[in-house]
């Protein structure tokens, strides 16, 4: 029989003795009597802010998403806001939620606690995309904001993303300080659950209109879209919030032939037509691709439940193929810089931002156009931090990460799939106007800059034991640095936890000027890049592989493609994944 640690039993007993509702207590008693493993998973830790905020399986316990963990997080955040903005007469926050089960309930709990603390709340009247929440924070000049979402996680999950006054997610020191405030709450009696309805204002349609007007202003090729307005596009929101604004954004850009996957246009937190609502997974786009083949569409787009990530499929030799996040980011950034150059908008103060695990091809493209590029840690909040730091000094054009999140313009301070869908459709129209498909354009980019290919492998290790196993894997990589990958020497090691970059040929060390993070990167003599990091939002460790080769002739595309696949597989074998 599974043995339960005394600390876990003590914490569970505190919940049984505390100010919790009877339904919660009954669930805990059931676990104590019948399911000790579930009790361990529910109480072995407290939910913490990671790269995506608070996220967990719904249920009773300190390691679960429920009224009390949400309430405590909100009370801690409210306390922190009061300490940080003592001179603000009326503190304000905005709150949004996605289509997940319990999302509206958690949003209302959050609004109740904020209002009970004397904080004015702008609460969206129904589900809305996460990026619109970011926009609303700045629009209403709020000091913070919350969106209830677990992004692309399975249906059992929900989450709580916290935002600061710039519309960006919490970063250090605010994220850690909020957690400290939450940890100071030892008794649920300290959480003010009694709502003040006078401080809660419902918002919706008006904000939608202003936000969409900003989105439409990003278009760089309206005349091209006018010529290509009948480009056939298939879009699916995968039962999420994208159904609210993505079709409207495409219409605002001028696209007149957009087909929605109707079965997936109905918001539903059980995501009945997919195993996982994650646009990174091919199965999530199956229904959309079938519709695209039926009507002969050239572009397929799918957004996750909170509409901050987008996955796309394009035609290659007549057949639909999926593009990964690096490829979509490449097309988007190349188009933006080419158009800014063509329109004479590059003045020498522009920049793009990518994460350290995203393709280095973006840096090469930026260098061609004389545009500065910045590398940041994984997590879009770090891209946004650069935008905030350089506001009024330099001009942000766009940015992205390999995990299907992109941003154009700076009126939103998070990844935005509404913007991304509209802009990627514009890229498709621009390519079509030149007699090219999206994949043809990608091949042209590879011929100019080199054929870059990437792959991600995620190894899932759930629960307390899984977390310990993942940490052991990281410790092993640190204690014994690989010497070769695919026969090519490892020449550079970057350890973001120690903040040191070491040249393994000369022994020279440099400081990495980024916050500390549990990430390792190995760079080889032939230009390969291997990155290893535990996920900040899911029970998995991620391995990122990036390789490259010249593509001198288009006829060699398939051959080089296969060679790069083989190189990645050889590296994976060497790594022992």
Alpha carbons 271 and 571: distance in angstroms, whole number: 36
Chain-wide mean pLDDT for the chain? 95
**What integer is the mean pLDDT of 300-318?**
97
Instruction: Calculate what percentage of the chain has a pLDDT beyond 90.
Output: 89
Contact 215, 418 (CB under 8 A): yes
Contact 78, 113 (CB under 8 A): yes
Query: For 326-384, what is each residue's pLDDT tens digit?
Result: 999 999 999 999 999 999 999 999 999 999 999 999 999 999 999 999 999 998 999 99
- The pLDDT, as a whole number, for residue 1 is 58
- Asked if residue 52 has pLDDT above 60, the reply is no
- Active-site choice (151, 403, 517, 549): 151
CA 97 → CA 100, 123, 162, 245, 307, distances in Å? 8, 9, 12, 14, 11
Instruction: Calculate what percentage of the chain has a pLDDT beyond 70.
Output: 99
CB-based contacts of 233: which residues, under 8 Å, 6+ apart?
A: 250, 255, 257, 258, 259, 297, 298, 299, 300, 301, 425, 428
Query: For 418-466, what is each residue's pLDDT tens digit?
Result: 999 999 999 999 999 999 999 999 999 999 999 999 999 999 988 888 8
**What integer is the mean pLDDT of 215-240?**
98
Active site residue 151: yes
Indicate the pTM of the whole model.
0.94
**230: buried, middle or exposed (CB in 10 Å: 19+, 13-18, 0-12)?**
exposed
CA 83 → CA 88, 191, 192, distances in Å? 10, 17, 17
**What integer is the mean pLDDT of 231-251?**
98
- Asked if residue 25 has pLDDT above 70, the reply is yes
- The pLDDT, as a whole number, for residue 49 is 60
Q: What is the strand order of the sheet 92-97 is part of?
A: 54-57, 157-164, 144-148, 92-97, 120-124, 200-203
- Among 209-213, 243-247, 479-483, name the one with the lowest average pLDDT: 479-483
CB-based contacts of 26: which residues, under 8 Å, 6+ apart?
A: none
**What integer is the mean pLDDT of 50-55?**
66
- Asked if residue 4 has pLDDT above 70, the reply is yes
- The pLDDT, as a whole number, for residue 577 is 81
Contact 405, 380 (CB under 8 A): yes
Q: Which of 409, 493, 352 is nearest to 135 (CA)?
A: 409
**What integer is the mean pLDDT of 133-145?**
98
**What integer is the mean pLDDT of 198-227?**
98
Higher pLDDT, 536 or 445: 445
- Binning the chain into helix, strand and coil, the percentages to the nearest 5 are 40, 25, 35
Report DSSP letters for 287-354, one per residue. Answer: HHHHHHHHHT-SEEEEE-TTSS-EEEEEEETTEEEEE-HHHHHHHHHHHHHHHHHHTT---S-EEEEE
Q: How many CB atoms lie within 10 A of CB 484?
A: 12
Alpha carbons 107 and 110: distance in angstroms, whole number: 5
- The pLDDT, as a whole number, for residue 576 is 84
Calculate ∠ Cα 274-279-283, nearest 5°. 45
Quick one: pLDDT band at residue 51, thresholds 50, 70, 90? very low
Alpha carbons 408 and 417: distance in angstroms, whole number: 10
Contact 197, 104 (CB under 8 A): no
- Among 130-144, 225-239, 465-479, name the one with the lowest average pLDDT: 465-479
Quick one: pLDDT band at residue 537, thresholds 50, 70, 90? low
Q: Which of 541, 567, 341 is nearest to 457 (CA)?
A: 541
Q: Is 112 helix (H, G, I), strand (E, B) or coil?
A: helix
Total residue length of the chain: 577
- The pLDDT, as a whole number, for residue 50 is 54
**What integer is the mean pLDDT of 36-58?**
82
What are the counts of helices (DSSP H) followed by strands (DSSP E) for the chain?
18, 23
The domains located in the chain, with CATH, are 66-203 (3.40.120.10), 223-449 (3.40.120.10), 451-575 (3.30.310)
């Amino acid at each position: 029989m599974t043995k339960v640690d005394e600390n876990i039993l003590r914490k569970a007993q505190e919940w049984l003795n505390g100010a919790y509702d009877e339904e919660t207590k009954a669930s805990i008693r059931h676990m104590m009597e019948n399911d000790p493993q579930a009790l361990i998973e529910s109480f072995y830790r407290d939910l913490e802010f990671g790269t995506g905020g608070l996220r967990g399986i719904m249920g009773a316990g300190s390691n679960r998403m429920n009224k009390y963990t949400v309430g405590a997080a909100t009370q801690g955040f409210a306390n922190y806001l009061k300490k940080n903005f003592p001179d603000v007469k009326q503190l304000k926050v905005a709150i949004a939620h996605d289509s997940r089960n319990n999302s509206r309930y958690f949003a209302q709990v959050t609004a109740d606690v904020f209002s009970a603390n004397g904080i004015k709340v702008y609460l969206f009247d129904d589900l809305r995309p996460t990026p619109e929440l970011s926009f609303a924070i700045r629009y209403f000049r709020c000091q913070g904001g919350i969106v209830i979402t677990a992004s692309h996680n399975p249906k059992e999950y929900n989450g709580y993303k916290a935002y600061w006054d710039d519309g960006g997610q919490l970063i250090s020191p605010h994220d850690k300080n909020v957690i400290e405030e939450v940890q100071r709450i030892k008794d649920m009696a300290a959480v003010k659950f009694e709502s003040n309805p006078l401080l809660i204002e419902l918002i919706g349609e008006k904000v939608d209109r202003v936000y969409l007007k900003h989105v439409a202003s990003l278009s760089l090729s309206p005349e091209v879209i006018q010529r290509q307005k009948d480009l056939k596009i298939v879009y699916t929101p995968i039962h999420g919030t994208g159904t609210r604004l993505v079709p409207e954004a495409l219409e605002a850009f001028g696209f007149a032939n957009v087909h929605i996957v109707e079965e997936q246009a109905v918001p539903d937190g059980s995501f009945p037509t997919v195993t996982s609502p994650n646009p990174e997974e091919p199965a999530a786009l199956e229904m959309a691709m079938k519709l695209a083949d039926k009507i002969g569409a050239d572009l397929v787009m799918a957004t996750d439940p909170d509409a901050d990530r987008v996955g796309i499929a394009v035609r290659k030799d007549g057949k639909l193929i999926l593009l990964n996040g690096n490829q979509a980011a490449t097309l988007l950034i190349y188009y933006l810089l080419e158009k800014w150059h063509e329109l004479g908008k590059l003045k020498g103060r522009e920049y793009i931002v990518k994460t350290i695990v995203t393709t280095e091809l973006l840096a090469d493209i930026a260098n061609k156009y004389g545009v500065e590029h910045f590398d940041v840690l994984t997590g879009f909040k770090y891209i946004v931090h650069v935008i905030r730091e350089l506001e009024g000094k330099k001009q942000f054009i766009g940015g992205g990460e390999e995990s299907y999140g992109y941003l154009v313009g700076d009126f939103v301070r998070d990844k935005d799939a509404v913007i991304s869908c509209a802009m990627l459709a514009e890229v498709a129209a621009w390519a079509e106007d030149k007699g090219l498909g999206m994949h043809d354009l990608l091949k042209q980019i590879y011929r100019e800059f080199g054929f870059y290919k990437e792959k991600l492998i995620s190894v899932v290790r759930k629960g307390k034991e899984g977390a310990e196993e993942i940490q052991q894997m990281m410790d092993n990589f640190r204690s014994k640095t690989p010497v070769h990958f695919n026969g090519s020497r490892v020449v550079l090691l970057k350890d973001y936890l120690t903040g040191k970059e070491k040249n393994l040929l000369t022994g020279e060390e440099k400081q990495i000027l980024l916050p500390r993070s549990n990430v390792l990167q190995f760079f080889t003599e032939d230009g390969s890049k291997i990155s290893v990091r535990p996920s900040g939002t899911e029970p998995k460790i991620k391995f990122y592989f990036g390789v490259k080769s010249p593509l001198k002739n288009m006829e060699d595309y398939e051959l080089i493609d296969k060679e790069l696949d083989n190189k990645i597989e050889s590296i994976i074998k060497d790594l022992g994944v």
